[in-house]
Amino acid sequence: MTYIFRYRRKFLWKSHIVMGHAYDGAQDKMVLFFANGSVREVARWRDCEARLGTDWVLAQKKSLEEQTGQTIPIRGVS
């Protein structure tokens, strides 16, 4: 399942449709994984800000449901 990964370093927001992401703290970079098998690294991640939307939440939910074999309810925040 894919989701939109949005980030910015200073002013301009960049968006990528990814299948996953991971932070590498030792090298201070964010690694983005794409559906076609390619990888992109965002260097100096400490200087960036990220936004993940509801599509990311749904991707995480689906992944967890596949791992556990159970449905996982999402509670609304009030």
Distance in angstroms (rounded) separating the CA atoms of residues 56 and 44? 23
Residue with the bigger pLDDT between 54 and 78: it is 54
Q: Which of 39, 38, 45, 36 is nearest to 7 (CA)?
A: 45
pLDDT in tens, 1-43: 899 999 999 999 999 999 999 999 999 999 999 999 999 999 9
Q: Which of 28, 25, 24, 7 is nearest to 16 (CA)?
A: 7
Residue with the bigger pLDDT between 74 and 32: it is 32
Residue with the bigger pLDDT between 51 and 70: it is 51
The whole-model pTM stands at 0.80
Span 44-59, average pLDDT: 91
DSSP per residue over 50-73, as a string?
Answer: EEE-HHHHHHHHHHHHHHHSS---
